Amino acid sequence: MKFNASYVLPFLTCALLLSCGSGPGSTVLPVTDPPVTNPGTYTPDPAFSRLSSPISPDVYTPEDLSMLRAINAARAKGATCKNADGTTQAFAPAGVVTLEGHLQRAAIWHAQDMNARNYFAHIAPAPAPHGSAPIDRVMNAGYRPPKGLNTAENLANFTDNPTSDATIAQIVTAWLGSTSGHCQALMDPASIDIGIWQENGNWATEYAAPL
C-alpha cells in the first residue's frame, strides 16, 4: 500500500478469512488494503525520524525478536508467493526489516485491542481507540514520513503456545503459503521497518518504509 503526501491510491478491501495451521484457534488473517476515499487522510510530519528504540513504556520482547528472526530468515531465502487466481509471484531474497518504535506502538495497540474487545480483523470496530484501518494506526503512532510511506499489516491468532518457536515458525509458514497477500507483504523488498506484538495469541505485524 503506498501513501504519498500528494495523492493516495484507492485499494479494495480483502474480506476473506483463512484458516491455517493445526489445532483450534490457528488462523491467519490476510493483509488488507482498506479503501481510501479522502486524499487528505495522510498528514506528513516534516520532522519525522525513524526510531530504533521503542517509545516508552513500549518494549521489544523475546517473542518479538524470535518473530523478527523468523521473518528475516524467510526474506533471506526468497519466496514464490501464490495469488488467489492461481498465478505466482517470485521474490528474490530481500533485505532485513528492523524493529521501529512507531510501528511497535501501532502493533501493540492493535494486538491489545483485538484481545481486549475479542475480535480479529484489520479494521477495528467502532469505537476504534487508535484508528480504524492499519494506516490510521500507523499514522496515529507517529510514522509520518514527509513524502509518504509504504505500509502493510499481517495478523495471526494462534492460541496454542502462542510464543513458542514452533508456533512462530508455523505462523510464518502460514503467511508464506497464503494466497491472500500475506506472503507478498512479508517478502516486499521495499519494507525496511516493522512493529511486532502478540497479546494472548493475537499477533500483529506492521511493515513500512518511507517513500
Q: What are phi and psi of 194, to 5 degrees?
A: -150, 150
Are the beta carbons of 84 and 182 closer than 8 angstroms?
Answer: no
User: Which DSSP helix (H) or strand (E) runs through 210?
Assistant: strand 202-210
Overall average pLDDT of the 48-66 stretch: 96
pLDDT tops 60 at residue 68: yes
pTM: 0.84
The residue among 44 and 93 whose pLDDT is bigger is: 93
Q: State pLDDT tens for residues 132-149.
A: 989 889 999 999 998 888
| pLDDT value of residue 103 | 98
Quick one: pLDDT band at residue 160, thresholds 50, 70, 90? confident
| pLDDT value of residue 149 | 86
DSSP 150: E
CA dihedral 181, 154, 14, 175 (to 10 degrees): 40
| pLDDT value of residue 41 | 64
Q: Other CB atoms closer than 10 Å to residue 74's CB: what's the count?
A: 21
For the chain, percent of residues with pLDDT exceeding 70: 81
The residue among 29 and 1 whose pLDDT is bigger is: 29
- Domains along the chain? 2-210 (3.40.33.10)
What string of DSSP letters covers 16-31? --EE-SSSTTEEEEPP
| pLDDT value of residue 161 | 87
Burial 80-91 (b: 16+ CB within 10 A, else e): ebbeeeeeeeeb
Overall average pLDDT of the 77-86 stretch: 94
| pLDDT value of residue 37 | 32
Match 503512532 to its residue by C-alpha cell. Answer: 141
| pLDDT value of residue 30 | 55
Q: State pLDDT tens for residues 18-46.
A: 222 223 345 566 554 443 333 456 788 89
